[in-house]
Structure 1
Amino acid sequence: MHDAVLSGQKPPMPPRDVVARSWSRLQAEGVSPARCEDVVFADCSELESRRTRTALRSVLPELRSTLTEVADDAKFIVVIADTDGVVLWRDGSRAVRKAADALGFMEGARWSEDLVGTNSVGTALVEGAPVQLFSAEHYARSHSGWSCTGSPVRDPRTGEVLGVVDISGSAMSVHPATMALVRTAVRLAESTLWRERTVQLDKLRAQAAPVLAAAGGPALVVDRHGWVVEAGGIAVPERLAPPCAEKPLLVPGLGWCVPEPLGAGWLVRRRADRADIDLELDLGASPRATVRGDVNWTRALSPRHAQILRVLADAGPGGTDAAAMSEALFGDRDHVVAVRAEISRLRKSLGPILIAQPYRFADNVQVRMFG
């Protein structure tokens, strides 16, 4: 099957879908099976840097206790790779490790699909799903003596792939339970990551409480990935763009903010000076307001809020008062209380883009309206 497909002939039977997709990708990129046998390695300093950065470092004991203890008896090796397919750690049967050394399948090897062909590390990363490969389903002929099973490990909150756990052994060692074993190990690792994250958030939340109480105005605390831990005096999204030191952050409801380091996270509060804000109003069938800057964000608008923003845009820099807004919205000047309530809700959503007395867009807001 392998030789027929790669030579353009009709195979005796078609490859499995996951294999066919991988072979097609490699052929489309002009990658030959022979080239896949030339393994590329990360140097020692890069490997150590990758080991330090990966979130999988913390679940290494869990994975080892789940898989490595049975690896010798089962004649396989356990491999943990990062999101680029670089092998970070490897353990297991000494005989299988020696065979893997001859293949170049060792710590520091770059085992991505585009470099070594169809394999359970690189192909699992491309597919974003568990992959099991047998013998000549591997693209490189030198890998045809192997069976390999790999599964991505994901951040349990974001779904982001953190790396791959792989079990590899001889083609004759393939077993129906191998995929179940890998999946179980991955679930245990992801559970550990979830518990660790909960502990970290609880610590950060404890640090945040007194800081927010003393902030003297609206502020929030986020973790290093931008997930909101606590907020004071403002309603905000569940997640912001990951903050960076001294880089302004545009936050819905607050405007431009300066992130300040706080333990393992950031305190985010409004900056003292006012930076220009570009506001795009789409007031068509599905009205929304989009703020553009270093970070862009969009808020859906109710029909009433869309009406209010249209009136303010038409009013220009001079703005309008509650009575005039009532007349524009309701046809009379008797709905001042309703107007004030709606604008209050709108300001909580859009932040310092709107100001009062009179109601108008702030001087630093450049408005573009269509629809």
Structure 2
Amino acid sequence: MTGEAALPGLSGFPADLSEHARVMQRVHEAVLSGARPPVRPRDVVERSWSRMLDMGLDTSGVQRTVVSLPEVELRRRRSGLEPVIDDLRRMLRHAAETSPFLVVVTDADGVILWRDGSARVRAYADALGFTEGARWTEATVGTNAVGTALVEAAPVQLLAAEHFEPAQHRWYCCAAPVHSPVTGELAGVVDISGPALTLHPAIGALVETSVRLAESGLWRLHEQRLERLRRSAEPVLGGTAEPLLVVDDDGWVAVRSGIAVGARVPVPREGLPMAVAGLGLCTPERLGEGWLLRPERDRTPMVAELDLTGDPVVRVHGGDGSWSAALTRRQGQVLALIADAGPGGLDAAALGRALFGDDGHVVTARAEVSRLRRVVGDLVAPAPYRLSDGVTLTVTRPR
């Protein structure tokens, strides 16, 4: 898929959207016919189109899949977004009802859970199959901002014939993933879509603001749960002078008593001793909505292995206890880079260059480490990013 030059990047759409749409139409036709396109599409579009061609997706035969309304309700509860959806919709609803665009929130599988917009735009979306319950992934409807953002794990904005399916060429869409700030897991996607030539530069900022609002709301609820856990732990804390931790079910520390430890430790499991960086072996005891951790007096070193031979997994041993955690491929890549960096570690700029090959991803690199530490806890130390003191990690890579 080569041509004379690349089209502008995500934030660099030309002022003349109609001309850009016409150029992309010629590019789309050339690529699908196997001819040389007049210009290269943007990198994110080129990658997605290549995936579509590899899958053998037929632009004329895209099949919509829609889940039942009871399943939509179940997915709403399971997404973790339901507690913040009212705030999110309140912020966006007025703009959606008075502007020619549609606001959509999906789950991590790309299934549309909530939708707001004017009657005219909703009718247009209905004809396109862009409805509640519809699965809007690349595999089902081709290149689109929701599905492509899920694959790229990054914000995506598409205009006109950058979409793979011709039925979507009269549409623009701008989407960004929402992650749980507590677990680091993908919760869903926020998308704003509308008629192609009505795209405004502020749409991307509106989507990013929506994501920040959702994630900050989830974090606020998390802090409220920690505060409840602190109150429930007060009788226990008042009756002992020994070092201990009180953490929630995700390993977030609510109370530190006589112990210097980070904001999160590995997830406790009933009856299983666990190793905490800098502490060694601890014994978890159920305490209300969380856990009480009593460190052993002998702090043994932690030995960890990052296994990249299949789906990434990290295994940690300390004293007589051990734990393991599955990682995403990006998390495995980040942890391997940190391990390879040695005691000096990496700052966000260096990590961004290692991950993306340029200096433009410092914020993304910080977010990747934040999500990794939500899984592995204090195994990784912040600023600079390095293995914590007392941790030895080996990386097993595919041959």
With the shorter chain as reference, the TM-score category is: 0.5 to 0.7
Asked whether the 8 Å contact 1:67–1:78 carries over to 2, the reply is yes
Instruction: Please name the residue that 2:140 is paired with.
Output: 115
**Equivalent-residue separation in structure 1 for 2:303 and 2:291 (angstroms):** 29
Aligned-partner Cα distance in 2 for 1:40–1:212:
53
Q: C-alpha displacement at 1:69, in angstroms?
A: 0.7
| CA shift for structure 1 position 202 | 2.1
Superposed displacement of residue 51, structure 1: 0.7
Alignment pair present for 1:295 and 2:320? no
Q: Please give the residue correspondences for 1:1-371 in structure 2 after superposition, counting only pairs within 5 Å.
A: 1-35=27-61, 37-156=62-181, 159-214=184-239, 218-244=243-269, 246=270, 248-252=272-276, 253=279, 255=281, 257-263=283-289, 265-269=290-294, 290-291=317-318, 295-296=323-324
Cα 1:134/1:279, change in 2 over 3 Å: closer
Determine the structure 1 residue equivalent to 2:375: none
SS at match of 2:214: helix
Q: Which moved more, 1:201-210 or 1:14-23?
A: 201-210
TM-score using structure 1 length: 0.68
Counterpart CA distance in 2 for 1:151 and 1:60 is: 15
What is the CA distance between 1:86 and its match in structure 2?
1.3
Q: What TM-score do the two structures reach when normalised by structure 2?
A: 0.63
| Percentage of identical aligned residues | 48
Q: Residues 193 and 103 from structure 1, CA distance in 2 versus in 1: closer, same or farther, beyond 3 angstroms?
A: same
* Distance verdict in 2 for CA 1:126–1:145, change over 3 Å: same
Larger Rg: 1
What CA distance in whole angstroms lies between the structure 1 residues aligned with 2:240 and 2:60?
63
Distance apart, 1:13 and its partner CA: 1.6
Q: Which amino acid aligns with 2:38?
A: P
SS of the residue corresponding to residue 129 of structure 1 reads: coil
Count of residue correspondences: 288
Which 10-residue stretch deviates more, 137-146 or 177-186?
177-186
The Cα offsets for residues 121-146 of structure 1, whole Å up to 9 and x where unpaired, read as: 11112222221111111111221121
Q: Deviations over 1:161-191 (max 9, x none)?
A: 3221111112232222211222222223333
**Would the alpha carbon gap of residues 106 and 211 (structure 1) be closer, same or farther in structure 2, given more than 3 Å must change?**
farther
1:113 deviates by 2.0
Query: Which AA in structure 2 matches 1:15?
Result: P
Report the AA paired with residue 204 of structure 1: L
- Once the 2 structures are TM-superposed, how far is the Cα of residue 219 of structure 1 from its aligned partner? 3.7
Q: Which runs of 5+ in 1 are unaligned?
A: 272-276, 283-288, 301-348, 351-371
Bigger shift: residues 90-99 or 251-260:
251-260
Q: 1:249 to 1:114 in 2, by over 3 A?
A: farther
2:358 maps to which residue? none
- Letter paired with 1:49: L
Matches of 1:23 and 1:220, distance apart in 2: 50
Alignment root-mean-square deviation, CA: 3.3
